[in-house]
Structure 1
Amino acid sequence: MSGYTVLLLTFGLFPALYAVFLAFTKNGAFAGVDNFVKVFNDYRFWPAVQHVAIYIVFWLASLLIFVVLLALLVHGIRYRVASSSVRFLYYIPGALAGASSVMLWLFLLDPTVSPVSGILRAFGFETFTQVVSIDNLPIVFTLIAFWAGAGGWIVIMYGALNNISDEIMEAARIDGAGPIASAWYIQIPLMRKWISYMAVMSLAAGTQLFVEPRVLSQASKGVVPQDYSLNQLAYLYAFKQSDFNGSAAISLLLLLVAVGLSALFVFRGGLFERD
């Protein structure tokens, strides 16, 4: 574990501690909560909070509902070749890097070139800028993130379903439980820890929203603002305003919110409880 520990300290713990130092100082002197007050008073901060919060709600809801449902459906396929093929197809999008995934979606979201232009026009979208308007972005980002990341979680949930004892499922069938009742009363409760783990990891990733709005901002020529997400705002503070203290304050706020929500999922989901 020594190699991992060195990397964790170098690229994880030490930068985090340095960010805490920057958040509470200015020009090397202790500044109390001045950096946080400055960030709170920034007219861009609260809209960015709202954007990220709405996106996380859509993102987590799509995962908790559709990933579990698709995993149950794949697990119910009795033919091994068919099941393996479906899992492989689900996993393919996850092999693309985030920026590559967004570039692909740039074509899908443009009604003039998209292979699903008929669907876009059915919803009243005639141009790319109409599709990526501010009101539509939470759903757009959810679709991109789900397409890229859901496949890996489906495979993980499939593995969790395989860990459920055949004797338990056989007893449920003998008692007259059908597929829906078995899923609701047996499989999903026994997957609770894995679902909580998925929620924690996805929440951490969701709060770091950056690549998708940045690429769409460049592609839409400013229709998507450069300060749409908190990570983008922190980037602007650091590299456009040369205010690393304010950037660190935003990063620390993101960390605290993510840790608090993650703790809720951990304790409510019984992630560390013994069976």
Structure 2
Amino acid sequence: MPLRPAYLSKLKVQENMLAYLFLAPSLLLFGVFLFYPLLKSVYLSLHSTDPAGRIAAYVGFDNFNALFTSGLFLDGIRVTALFALLTVPTGLLLALVLAALTHNQLRGKRLFQFAFSLPMVLSVGSAAVIWKFLFHPTLGMLNYLLELAGMTPVAWLVNPDTALLSISLMTVWMNLGFNYIILSSGMQGISDEIYESARIDGAGAVTVFRKITLPLLSPTLFFVLVVSIISAFQAFGQINILTAGGPMNSTNVFVYSIYREAFVNFRFGTGSAQALMLFLVIMLLTLIQFKWVERKVHYQ
């Protein structure tokens, strides 16, 4: 009997070692591609660098001070927040409506699901090139349709007032497939017996959607909301291809500002400081959502 606790302790150590052995490949990948770049960014943010990226001198928090005093941080966050406000609610609402419309057993349902999911298979670069042709001021399809309707053509990407809206339109379309698939899958996970009971009690379609579908779908909606906000704050590809941060910095979101500071101006210290600030902002937004928004989530 006295040997039993020692034996159990030894068995537990062996199980933990076996678990870490299986986790080792994943931990190695995380270390190389996540933790090391993060630590390297912290190190670079405290130093100034030459155009070749070599460490020139230790500057402490001067890079962070320059970030706030120059207005780069506030301008980047303002544009990024506006971009998120234009894309996240619109994309979430459209995907929810489309998922609700195709949830019932309608004729041609699979065809509609395929059409709505199609944008997800395109890369950001391919989608941006397609929309760049659509946004062309003279040859683009969008202005052609506006002229047919008797409306004035729009300078989609060259007008500071419409450039961010244009990129938001393309981003909503690009993310619609992912949002639609996730929400549609969430709706399919709701038992039909619940809907049948509600209809027997005399509940209409609107009441069923508001009182049953939305509460039971809230975990899925919360997941899509968190992922969409993070994706909006990390948007880069479509902005780099369509506007390159212009015109007049109207689309200079925070990630593109980091790219331009580090790989165009070759100020890797300031770029690393911006990247760390973006990391903190995204982490703060995620924590806020889990603390307050998740209270509205109904887990079965």
Same structural fold, with TM-score higher than 0.5 when normalized by the shorter chain: yes
Taking a change above 3 Å as real, the CA distance of residues 120 and 38 of structure 1, as seen in their structure-2 partners, is farther
Instruction: State the distance in 1 between where 2:207 and 2:45 align.
Output: 51
Q: Which residue of 2 aligns with 1:55?
A: 83
Letter of the aligned partner of 1:260 in structure 2? L
TM-score normalised over the length of structure 1? 0.87
In the TM superposition, 1:1-40 aligns within 5 A as 1-26=23-48, 27=55, 31-40=59-68
Does 202-211 or 156-165 show the bigger shift?
202-211
Instruction: State the distance in 1 between where 2:236 and 2:192 align.
Output: 43
Structure 1 residue 106 and structure 2 residue 128: aligned? no
Report the alpha carbon displacement of residue 5 of structure 1 after superposing the two structures with TM.
3.1
Report the alpha carbon displacement of residue 10 of structure 1 after superposing the two structures with TM.
1.4
Count, aligned residues = 269
Report the alpha carbon displacement of residue 30 of structure 1 after superposing the two structures with TM.
5.8
Q: Deviations over 1:82-132 (max 9, x none)?
A: 222111111111111101101100111124222333444455325xx4554
Larger Cα-atom Rg: 2
Structure 1 residue 172 and structure 2 residue 198: aligned? yes
5+ residue gaps, structure 1, are none
Instruction: State the distance in 1 between where 2:58 and 2:219 align.
Output: 42
Taking a change above 3 Å as real, the CA distance of residues 225 and 9 of structure 1, as seen in their structure-2 partners, is same
The alignment yields a C-alpha RMSD, in angstroms, of 2.6
Taking a change above 3 Å as real, the CA distance of residues 172 and 181 of structure 1, as seen in their structure-2 partners, is same
Q: Which residue of 2 aligns with 1:237?
A: 261
Letter of the aligned partner of 1:23 in structure 2? S
Preserved CA contact (<8 Å) 1:91 1:151: yes
Q: Which residue of 1 aligns with 2:12?
A: none
Tell me which of 191, 195, 201 is aligned to 2:227: 201
In the TM superposition, 1:1-275 aligns within 5 A as 1-26=23-48, 27=55, 31-76=59-104, 78-79=105-106, 82-121=108-147, 124-125=152-153, 129-217=155-243, 223=247, 225=249, 228-267=252-291, 268-269=293-294, 275=300
Instruction: State the distance in 2 between where 1:227 and 1:183 align.
Output: 37
Preserved CA contact (<8 Å) 2:47 2:58: yes
5+ residue gaps, structure 2, are 1-22, 49-54
For residue 209 of structure 1, give the secondary structure of its aligned residue in structure 2. coil
Does 230-239 or 51-60 show the bigger shift?
230-239
TM-score normalised over the length of structure 2? 0.80
Preserved CA contact (<8 Å) 2:215 2:297: no
Letter of the aligned partner of 1:265 in structure 2? Q
Report the alpha carbon displacement of residue 19 of structure 1 after superposing the two structures with TM.
1.4
Letter of the aligned partner of 1:239 in structure 2? F
Preserved CA contact (<8 Å) 1:22 1:245: yes
Identical-pair percentage: 25
Preserved CA contact (<8 Å) 1:44 1:227: no
For residue 191 of structure 1, give the secondary structure of its aligned residue in structure 2. helix
Taking a change above 3 Å as real, the CA distance of residues 224 and 99 of structure 1, as seen in their structure-2 partners, is farther
Report the alpha carbon displacement of residue 264 of structure 1 after superposing the two structures with TM.
2.3
Instruction: State the distance in 2 between where 1:24 and 1:180 align.
Output: 56
